Amino acid sequence: MRYSLASLLTNALTGNRNWKPVWREPEPKPSYDVVIVGGGGHGLATAHYLAKEHGITNVAVIEKSYLGSGNVGRNTTIVRSNYLLPGNEPFYEWSMKLWEGLEQDLNYNAMVSQRGVLNVFHSDAQRDAFVRRGNAMRFNGADAELLDQEQVRALVPFVDFENARFPVRGGLYQARGGTVRHDAVVWGYARSADMRGVDIIQNCAATGFRIENGRITGVETERGFIGAKKVALSVAGSSSRVGEMAGLRLPIESHVLQAFVTEGIKPLLDTVITFGAGHFYCSQSDKGGLVFGGDIDGYNTYAQRGNLPVVEDVAEGGMALIPAIGRLRILRSWGGLLDMSMDGSPIIDQTHVEGLYFNGGWCYGGFKATPASGWCFAHLIATGQSHPFAAAYRFDRFASGRVIDEKGMGAQPNLH
Amino acid sequence: MSQINRLTGKGLVDHSKTVSFQFDGQHLEGHPGDTLASALLANGIRLVGRSFKYHRPRGILTAGSEEPNALVELRTGARREPNTRATTIELYDGLDAASQNRWPSLRYDLLSINQLASPVLSAGFYYKTFMWPASFWEKLYEPMIRRAAGLGYPSKQTDPDRYEKANAFCDVLVVGGGAAGLSAALAAARTGACVILCDEDFVLGGRLLSERGEIDGQSTQDWAKSAVAELESLPRCRIMRRTTVFGVYDGGTYAAVERVSDHLPEPPAHAPRQRLWRIVAKQSVICAGGFERPIVFGDNDRPGVMLASAVRTYVNRFGVTPGRNAVIFADNHEALRTASDLADAGVTVRAIVDPQPQPSATAEQVATETGALYINGIIDAVSGAYGIKSVRIKDAQGASKTIDCDVLAVSGGWNPALNLTTHLGGKPKWDNALSCLVPGDLPPGMRVAGAAAGQFSLQACLASGEAAGADSARDCGFSPSAPSRPAPTEDGSPVAPVWYVPSSRGKAFVDFQNDVAVSDIKLAAREGFRVPDHVKRYTTLGMATDQGKTSNLNGAALLAEATGRHLGAVGSTTFRPPYTPVAIGALAGHHRGKDFRPTRLAPSHAWAVEQGAVFVEAGAWLRALMFPKPGETAQETVDREVANTRTNVGVCDVSTLGKIDVQGSDAGTFLDRVYINGFSKLAVGKTRYGLMLREDGFAMDDGTTARLAENHFFMTTTTANAVKVSQHLEFCQQVLWPELDVQTVSQTEQWAQFAVAGPKSRKIIEALLDSGQDISNEAFPYMACGSFTACGGAPARIFRLSFSGELAYEIGVPARFGDGLIRTIMRAGAEFGIGPYGTEALGVMRIEKGHAAGPELNGQTTAHDLGLGRMMSKKKDFIGRFMGQREALNEAARAAIVGLKPLDPKMRINAGAHLVKRDAVANAENDQGYVTSQAYSPELKSFIGLAMLSDGPARYGEVVKVCDPLRDYETLAEVCSPHFIDPEGERLRV
Amino acid sequence: MRITCPYCGARNLEEFTYRGDATVKRPDSLDESATEAWVDYVYLRKNPAGLHKEFWQHTGGCHAWLEVTRDTTTHEIVAVELASKGAEHKER
């Protein structure tokens, strides 16, 4: 059913009784051309682009819980393409472009809100690093602006300019960045893939992979064996534990990133803002809550929860940047499991098992990457070739040393 | 109007004193011991707020922290707190509160027209529209939605109050001071265990304060008072009132917030507003009580519709009746007490409506006793938009009857407040007998008692609390006495709850605050959102400020029905911290403003302040950036400081560099393994530059290391990496090579160190040293080091090192002499024209010399990139050697360090600019590198820069384009050696 | 989370600094043929869901590096040892 103002009004007049399920709930078929493991944003986007861009529709997406139960429903909804390195920036800029056309592509309002992303800086050295990054963005056709203190003040007048331990000296601003309603991304991609014939199968955890003579032949699941010519893993956060079933040893650690939302308040913050002297980034949702986060907890974990030191650290960063939020109250905190890769950048590649494809290692960048990740992963699955935008996201970069290390932290995942 | 609904002589409030307050500008009075909610009800005010989506008029539903409706903006100006629950605000004199989410006024609210459009504004409607045209989202739709959404207004001003953090440790933490909690605390504390009892309320007792029962021959209120008195007499028991335990973390860590001053107009001098407690407990007993469930029926949100238990609280604890004509609508017998309590307080109980399938003799009996009509039926309709006026009741036979009333007390049974049991991943279990979720697997050391455990009766609360308290103490090694209270026998057979009334008229609300109605849940189920989490995300059920405390289970019941499943199979969403919303300020404590992070001050800081230095943050340090003279521009100051150092002599505090003492018979071997170059053969009394790699082969840090004695080295690191390098060395020493005889210790704070640089520096150092010590060029050449005494016996280490490129010394003295030394240096240097220089001039001189610093050591560069590839020893293993040899880290195409000279010396080489070939277009394809550092060289009378350029060292003489599109700037520059000044180092060796 | 430092006793998480997997072993060999071992050491991790032996340093206390065995699904800590244990047995 196509969504339109007319369909909304017609249904309202009939008591909203005629809306149909957004996706079917089919039984799994014995086999598919492609089985995508993981019904999160990336898996569903991959299914959508496989069907739409490559005409491959004999596809199943299997999800161990409910659709969107992983990181796509646990992030702080920020989208941006303010990356530095050649391996990253074209990919994230392509993602930004796909976000810009997403609603028309999906006929689903994911509330892509290009309200701007502001990274403030506090020193000359930090400014120079931001300038290098902003110029890399410009070189790649993305938008970037360098703001001085007064321009920052105009955007966010309540930031602490007078009494700060690390005074704000300016900022790098990407006007096209912003936020997207995360759950709507899941539902929109799922609806579109489903309408094109993709089977979406919830509550169907993969329990093993059938590999014969080095080639994948299907997935063992809680609901029986599902044969597949190709299997695509899209389970960031759990990549190591799922990959282990196929014999993968990955350059990845699982870490938890906490996020927070305050009670709803009338409009306060119109952009996304990131603190440069501590760990705090924040935007205000359309419902009115300030949505914010900070650093990862920093130890390997598969528990979707964090601990108090980081909660305090994030609140401290928030108060240092915006001392007006002291009386606003945190309503809820949660944790998402990240694939923290060894260089802080993702992987979209084939594996040593023929027909088994891998998508993971997204670190903090997973949500904003959703459309381009699906686009490039679909390309790889369909053609067997890396998409040019994801050409650097290969496993062999670790052995060769051609790592994509935005932060320059080296092979220690919790520092990225 | 003065407290028309106050019940004389009833409750725990102090009737002898009055407290004045304002609500929406109206002046009102209450009593000490009131909450804002009880005081508003006492004054006959029922309309308190507006709902989120439809702006429906709302009143007070509960008497506790689960309140969804009665949210107000408390206080004004910078202290305004939006969304504050009237039911938990302790009344104080001068309190000022305002209703919210309404315009122009609470009674006449323009956006209440949203109600008319409710068929269109169904669950998830916004996902299906607002898409055309695409550009209108940011310009029109979203601003409109944002203005309508939210609830209260934030202050937008700096929070004027202070917050604190504190730690506490105990054997047994008891959360909640009701019947179960007091019993648990008594049982544990009587054993001598260290007990902390926290309660969110300002009076302990929980529901004991709200009910008229008896314990051990005392009224429940008196029993609570004596229990508290006994606990207060026990030396190892601490009672924390107004303290909410809001989060459970790993390892027995509990987070709590104490509202120290929220019951006062403003915090007293030297007192914080709130205090964050990190409580580490060996054992805990969660006695958080329960939440009564509303029944879902049409127009169940009208002001005056209230939970039955809340009505009893207002009557018995606060001495307030919410109305004068009451109707009871309850599916359980406990709620019948509301009828008795109201009747005894002189309130007319018009009817008791019982929706159970069979009539109840007990209920009928209570009806007779209270003079009420008993109707086995349902509430069919409610009238009175701004306050309930009447209800229409339909009996089991279908006959309707309209009864006037101004309060409708509703009860659909109780849910355990099990929130804290799930914070570490515990999953609640469905209890078929109780028809609710009860705690499932508990974290180590946690017990649950009382209503929170599904033990709802008073006897069960007392007994389970006592048992849990005693068991907890026993697990901590104490010996509790035998239990005094037998576990109760089951009181009556439980009945199946009535979740909602399908036939009633009007919108039936499940989640009051977010306006989630029955129709929304049905629509979600119809559209395929069939698990609680999907329903929550699609309809916003349970996402409001109460986090679904009164709505989640009702929503699950409706979902179960809509999807044809048993409620026990539907599951639930997850409760996460915090239990109730917590102020960001409390979590931050004092870490804000200048106190966000500690400030490290260099030993010469006080002196530099006296000189009028300008300071700059360098990590945690505050360093002197420059020492301006009156009338100078910043550029003039830096130029002067550089020129003076290069022609006369300058002094700079370099104490912030990391300093690490390395000692032991294997110290040399150890350094060989952490640096790319060798140190074991370094002669005693010599210093050497070294580069460290990470194990992945990229550069980590650089610095000099001096050999003070055969087994004693003294390493310096960059300021930024001091801690990281220290940890790295400790890892190498303890984990990788524990067999080596070597110890490392950070001495950054122990030594004050000054660089004295310039052609005349030797004269000053000579003047400082005690007589008879020789630092002539012959005796103490470039890169020499040694221990001396200075200024009359102070130990001093001298290193003939130069970052500036001039003849220079670094002199280190114990940190306590640092302030004295800088003053002595300045006195000794006066005749030679000494001037202090700051980090800006330091930076200019190091760029002139082509020394790598932070911008070049950015974690992405290799020894090759820094021009130090040939320093990598082939003869030994060292950290990063194997991976550092990989082709990708050494190939010519990598960007490596070069100098850049603008063709026009007045043009800047902007740091952060990218480099392309002279005639190339500035785009990613042509990108060949970037500028790391730039400076104006007074000696060369030109801007200069350091850059990382692809194949750079082979391209000296080539002209490249410096592109800074971010600042709309381009210039041409010649690639050159990074050593702009004195490339042979002759000045260093004189 | 609380970690019991063998020297200092049980302390809060914020006193400790995490490094990661303690089961990987730095290769001795610098031969070309050791590439796989080095890549494995520097980049590849088992990252188990369950018991994980990992390095922590008590940076807010005694600076000892510790080998902590912790369940990554529950955060339960089952063992804490000094990472330098056995140094006296190694060859000088």
* Average of per-residue pLDDT across B26-50: 97
- Give per-residue pLDDT as tens, B512-528: 999 999 999 999 999 99
Q: How far apart are CA A33 and CA A227, in angstroms?
A: 8
User: How long is chain C?
Assistant: 92
pLDDT greater than 60 at residue B832: yes
Q: How far apart are CA B378 and CA B388, in angstroms?
A: 16
- Give per-residue pLDDT as tens, A329-361: 999 999 999 999 999 999 999 999 999 999 999
**pLDDT of amino acid B492:** 56
What percent of chain B is modeled with pLDDT above 70? 99
- Within 8 A of A192 by CB-CB distance, chain B residues are none
- Within 8 A of C52 by CB-CB distance, chain A residues are 300
Contacts of C69 (CB under 8 A, 6+ apart): C51, C52, C53, C54, C77, C78, C79, C80
How close B335 comes to chain A (CA, Å)? 31
Q: Does C49 contact chain A (CB < 8 Å)?
A: yes
Interchain contact, B930 vs A5, CB within 8 Å: no
pLDDT greater than 90 at residue B648: yes
Q: How many CB atoms lie within 10 A of CB B830?
A: 10
Interchain contact, B739 vs C91, CB within 8 Å: yes
Interchain contact, A309 vs C13, CB within 8 Å: yes
**pLDDT of amino acid A190:** 98
- Within 8 A of B423 by CB-CB distance, chain C residues are none
Q: Which of A240-249, B521-530, B592-601, C25-34 has the lowest mean pLDDT?
A: C25-34
Q: How far apart are CA B936 and CA B907, in angstroms?
A: 10
Q: How confident is the model at residue B488 (pLDDT cuts 50, 70, 90)?
A: confident
**Averaged pLDDT of chain A:** 97
* Average of per-residue pLDDT across B146-174: 96
Higher-scoring residue by pLDDT: B363, B114: B363
Q: Does C2 contact chain A (CB < 8 Å)?
A: no
Q: How confident is the model at residue C91 (pLDDT cuts 50, 70, 90)?
A: very low
Interchain contact, A412 vs C43, CB within 8 Å: no
- Give per-residue pLDDT as tens, B808-817: 999 999 999 9
- Within 8 A of A103 by CB-CB distance, chain B residues are 131, 134, 137
**What is B397-412 written as a DSSP string?**
TS-EEEEE-SEEEEE-
**Contacts A–B by Cβ distance under 8 A:** 360
Q: Does C19 contact chain A (CB < 8 Å)?
A: yes
* Average of per-residue pLDDT across A273-294: 97
- Within 8 A of B251 by CB-CB distance, chain C residues are 1-2, 13, 75, 77
- Within 8 A of A399 by CB-CB distance, chain C residues are 35, 39, 43
How close B626 comes to chain A (CA, Å)? 14
State both tokens at B502: 């399908």
Contact B677, B871 (CB under 8 A): yes
- Sheet with B614-618: list strands edge to edge: B600-601, B621-626, B614-618
- Within 8 A of B249 by CB-CB distance, chain A residues are 307-308
Q: How confident is the model at residue B132 (pLDDT cuts 50, 70, 90)?
A: confident
**Crossing angle (nearest 10°) for helices B818-829 and B761-768:** 120
A250 phi and psi angles, rounded to 5 deg: -115, 155
* Among candidates B149, B545, B965 on the partner chain, residue whose Cβ is nearest the Cβ of A135: B965
What residues of chain B, 864 to 883, have a C-beta less than 8 Å from chain C? 877, 881-883
**pLDDT of amino acid C90:** 47
**What is B634-655 written as a DSSP string?**
HHHHHHHHHHHHHHS-EEEE-T
Q: Does C27 contact chain B (CB < 8 Å)?
A: yes
* Average of per-residue pLDDT across B495-513: 93
State both tokens at B271: 């007192």
CA dihedral for B34, B35, B36, B41, sign (positive or negative):
negative
Q: Does C45 contact chain B (CB < 8 Å)?
A: no
Interchain contact, B582 vs A330, CB within 8 Å: yes
Q: How far apart are CA A369 and CA B349, in angstroms?
A: 62
Q: Name the amino acid, one letter, at B665.
A: S
Interchain contact, A249 vs C45, CB within 8 Å: yes
Strand locations in A195-354 (E)? 199-201, 206-212, 215-221, 224-233, 252-262, 272-274, 281-284, 290-296, 329-341, 347-350
Residue in B closest to A145 by C-alpha: B966
pTM: 0.97
How close A191 comes to chain B (CA, Å)? 11
What residues of chain A, 70 to 109, have a C-beta less than 8 Å from chain C? none
Contact B141, B250 (CB under 8 A): no
- Within 8 A of B966 by CB-CB distance, chain A residues are 131, 134-135, 138, 144-146
- Give per-residue pLDDT as tens, A195-212: 999 999 999 999 999 999
- Within 8 A of B735 by CB-CB distance, chain C residues are 55, 65, 83-84
- Give per-residue pLDDT as tens, B207-260: 999 999 999 999 999 999 999 999 999 999 999 999 999 999 999 999 999 999
Q: How confident is the model at residue A93 (pLDDT cuts 50, 70, 90)?
A: very high
Q: Does B318 contact chain A (CB < 8 Å)?
A: no
pLDDT greater than 60 at residue B1: no
How close C75 comes to chain A (CA, Å)? 8
Q: Which of C43, C70, C77 to probe the A interface (max A CBs under 10 A)?
A: C43
* Among candidates C42, C82, C92 on the partner chain, residue whose Cβ is nearest the Cβ of B739: C92
How close B707 comes to chain C (CA, Å)? 23
Chains that touch A (3 or more CB pairs under 8 A): B, C
Contact A139, B922 (CB under 8 A): yes
Contact B426, B405 (CB under 8 A): no
Interchain contact, A187 vs B127, CB within 8 Å: yes
Host H or E run for residue B814: strand B808-814
**pLDDT of amino acid C92:** 41
- Give per-residue pLDDT as tens, A373-403: 999 999 999 999 999 999 999 999 999 999 9
Interchain contact, A399 vs C35, CB within 8 Å: yes
Residue in C closest to B444 by C-alpha: C76
Interchain contact, A410 vs B698, CB within 8 Å: yes
Residue in B closest to A11 by C-alpha: B120
pLDDT greater than 70 at residue A237: yes
- Within 8 A of C55 by CB-CB distance, chain B residues are 731, 735
- Within 8 A of C64 by CB-CB distance, chain B residues are 734
Q: Does A60 contact chain B (CB < 8 Å)?
A: no
Q: How confident is the model at residue B490 (pLDDT cuts 50, 70, 90)?
A: low
Q: How confident is the model at residue C86 (pLDDT cuts 50, 70, 90)?
A: low
Residue in A closest to B256 by C-alpha: A308
- Within 8 A of A299 by CB-CB distance, chain C residues are 18, 54, 70
What residues of chain B, 15 to 74, have a C-beta less than 8 Å from chain A? 52
Interchain contact, B252 vs C86, CB within 8 Å: no
Q: Does B917 contact chain A (CB < 8 Å)?
A: no
Higher-scoring residue by pLDDT: B110, B917: B917
Q: How far apart are CA B750 and CA B818, in angstroms?
A: 10
- Give per-residue pLDDT as tens, C13-66: 999 999 999 999 999 988 889 999 999 999 999 999 999 999 999 999 999 999
pLDDT greater than 60 at residue A42: yes
Higher-scoring residue by pLDDT: C85, B688: B688
Interchain contact, B736 vs C26, CB within 8 Å: yes
Residue in C closest to B723 by C-alpha: C59
**pLDDT of amino acid C87:** 53
Interchain contact, A240 vs C46, CB within 8 Å: yes
What residues of chain B, 271 to 290, have a C-beta less than 8 Å from chain C? 278, 280
Contacts of C89 (CB under 8 A, 6+ apart): none
pLDDT greater than 80 at residue B79: yes
* Among candidates A300, A411, A412 on the partner chain, residue whose Cβ is nearest the Cβ of C72: A300
Interchain contact, B734 vs C84, CB within 8 Å: yes
Task: Look at residues B38, B407, B63 and name the one whose alpha carbon lies nearest to residue B207.
Answer: B63
**Averaged pLDDT of chain B:** 96
Q: Does A244 contact chain B (CB < 8 Å)?
A: no
- Give per-residue pLDDT as tens, B183-212: 999 999 999 999 999 999 999 999 999 999
